[in-house]
Every structure is written in structure tokens, then in C-alpha cells.
Structure 1
Amino acid sequence: MVAPELIKAAQSGDRDALITLLREIENHVYRTAYYILGNEQDAMDAAQEALIRIYTKINSYEEKAQFKTWVQRIVTNLCIDKFRRSKPTVSIDEHELTFTANKTVEDEVMSAYIAQDIKEAIDKLPEHHRSVVVLRYLQDFSYNEIAESLDLPINTVKSYLFRARQQLQTLLQDYKKTKSDAVRG
């Protein structure tokens, strides 16, 4: 959570405070962009554009909304615009396997497959469903925060999440069997 004092200092022209503020939010901005757009390069571009927009518009932030909600609205809207302009691509190389003493190589490979399947399933959702899923399950936003970020009625957010979960369930219903068979060869 970003300290309100830091936001006020940034708004009053304190350059160091603004840079600190941007550094505190950059990972959240990138993560949202990545899950909405589906690939690293587009996410980096969108995150950079969102951070620039936040930098230039910091004085327009009003305390009516939470700061994180205001930031997520900016990045989500940029991503939706970018998504509409170009079809996303899926990159498979972003998963690094980290082996631990408790997990076998097969467990790690299965985890990577599962993560990739979930990401691909999220990428297949319509953009409005994808946005609410990313904000709810990856950014841990409440329904109210999602509604505020996306400028939607709360019942619409709930409806989108319900439909998105149904779609994800359908898309992922047989991933375990398919991937288990693939790993066993």
C-alpha cells in the first residue's frame, strides 16, 4: 500500500517522492498488463506507458478513489486499448523452473504446464472477463475496487467473474489428464 504522504509529496512537485511512488507500483502495473495482454513485450510497453501517464497525471488524482484503484484504471484502460489494436500472442518461455528439495523434476514440470494452461485459458477470455479476473485473482482487488477501476456497476463485475470462472472451468477441465499423459510420454 502506498503511503498517502508519498502521494501528496509527489503531487506537490517532490520529484524524489514521485520516483519512489512509481517504483512502488511498477511491479503491480506490469503484472496487470502482462495478464491482460498475454505477452511480455506488450506488457512492458503498456506498463511503461501507464507509468508515464501516472507521472504526468499525478495531480489529477483525487482521494475520492483509492490510489491503487486509480492506477489500475489507467493500466487496464491502456491495456484494453492496446488489446483492441492488436491480437495478443502467447509466449511459452517465461516460466523458469526452480527446483526445491520437496519437489521432483516431474512436479516442477507439471507446475509449469499448469501455470501455462491457466495463462492460456485467461488469454482466451473476452477482454472484459479477462480484466476482472486479473484484477480479482492476480491483483487481489475487492469487487468494489474492480467496479471502481473499470467504471462498472458491482453486479456487472460479479456477473463477469461468474461467467469468466465458468469459461475457465470449461477451458481447463481436462488439462490435468492431457498434461499428465504428455509428461509421462
Structure 2
Amino acid sequence: MVDRECVRRAQAGDREAVVALLRELETPIYRTAYYTLGHEQDAMDAAQEALLRIYRKLNTFRGDADIRTWAQRIAVNTAIDAARRRKDVLSLQEDRINGGSPVERSAIYTDVREAIRRLPEPQRSVVLLRHIQDFSYQEIADTLELPVNTVKSHLFRGRKKLMEWLSDYREGGVSHEV
């Protein structure tokens, strides 16, 4: 975890602090980009762009929120911009889906990815930050600059849609309507 002193030193131009800060943020930012874009190379490009934006905007960080939250806001926006440019799809890691044959897991993976991709943008980001990044409601609210109750509402609606679209899996069937 990055402490406030490291952030303060990085803002003051301490090269070692900047490197330490960016290294600490690198993995979660890459993870956000990967789950948003679904392709390793696209995620690496988006993560690199996000880290560069963080570096360039570091002097604008006021410390009102945790540095992780502030950085994730930049990462989410960078990945969304990249997805819009590429008209790409969202993805979940295939190894997060358990059970079944490789063919069944692939079908589930495809259906879940497509279902998440179909969510409206606020719901999509909230679902990804909550279930992929394990952010708290407050961290999501800070990242997306939304009230906590709005985050909860988007998460509830997003989960409800996903459950509806993927209901055949809960009933033991295979959904082709996603």
C-alpha cells in the first residue's frame, strides 16, 4: 500500500517515490484495463497510457481520496476510451469460471463476457470495480465520482440484468440469448 508520504514525495519530484508509486499502481491498473478490454496487448497499452496520465496529473492529486481510487478513476476512463476507439468487448478471465469441460467453460466465458459488455456504462464499470477489483462501495463512488447510493443502485441493476441474461446457467442449461 502506498503511504501519503510516498505520494507527497512523488508530487515533489522525488524520482524514487514516483517509481515506487507507479509500481504499486501498475498491477491493479493493468487488471482494470484487462477486464475492460479483454485482450492482453490492448490492456498493456491502456495501462501504460493510464500510468502516463497518472504521472502527468500527479500534481493535481489533492489527497481527498486514496491514491488508488484516484488512479483507478484515470484507469477506468482510459480503458473506456480505448474500448470506444477499438469498439472492443469486455472480458472476464476464463480461469475464473469453474467446472465443466473446456468447451462448456468457453461457452460460459463468452456468454458472461457478452452479458457484461451489454450492460450500460455506469452499471458495467460498477460491476467490474466491485467484482473484479474488489472495491468497496465508497471506493467505487470516489473512482466514478458518484454518490454511494447511486453506486449501489447501478450494482443492483447490473447484477439483476446479468442474472436475468444468464439465468439458464443457474437452471443447468446453456444460454444462447445473451
- TM-score band, normalised by shorter chain: 0.7 to 0.9
Work out the CA distance in 1 between the residues paired with 2:91 and 2:124.
17
2:114 matched residue in structure 1: 120
Q: What amino acid is aligned across from residue 73 of structure 1 in structure 2?
A: R
Choose the corresponding residue for 1:157, options 147, 151, 161: 151
Choose the corresponding residue for 2:163, options 164, 169, 174: 169
Q: What amino acid is aligned across from residue 42 of structure 1 in structure 2?
A: D
| Cα RMSD, aligned residues only | 2.7
CA contact (8 A) 1:35 1:119 kept: no
Work out the CA distance in 1 between the residues paired with 2:38 and 2:164.
20
TM-aligned CA distance change 1:59 to 1:45, over 3 Å: same
Number of paired residues?
171
Tell me, what secondary structure is at the counterpart of 1:75? helix
TM-aligned CA distance change 1:75 to 1:178, over 3 Å: same
2:35 matched residue in structure 1: 35
TM-aligned CA distance change 1:60 to 1:80, over 3 Å: same
Choose the corresponding residue for 1:134, options 128, 143, 156: 128
Deviations 1:147-170 (A, max 9, x none): 111111222211111110011112
Aligned identity (percent) is 53
Gaps in structure 1 of 5+ consecutive residues: 98-102, 180-185
> What TM-score, normalized by structure 2, do the two folds share?
0.81
Query: Structure 2 matches for 1:100-111, cutoff 5 A?
Result: 109=102
Gaps in structure 2 of 5+ consecutive residues: none
Relative contact order, higher structure (CA 8 A, sep 6+): 1
2:24 matched residue in structure 1: 24
> What TM-score, normalized by structure 1, do the two folds share?
0.79
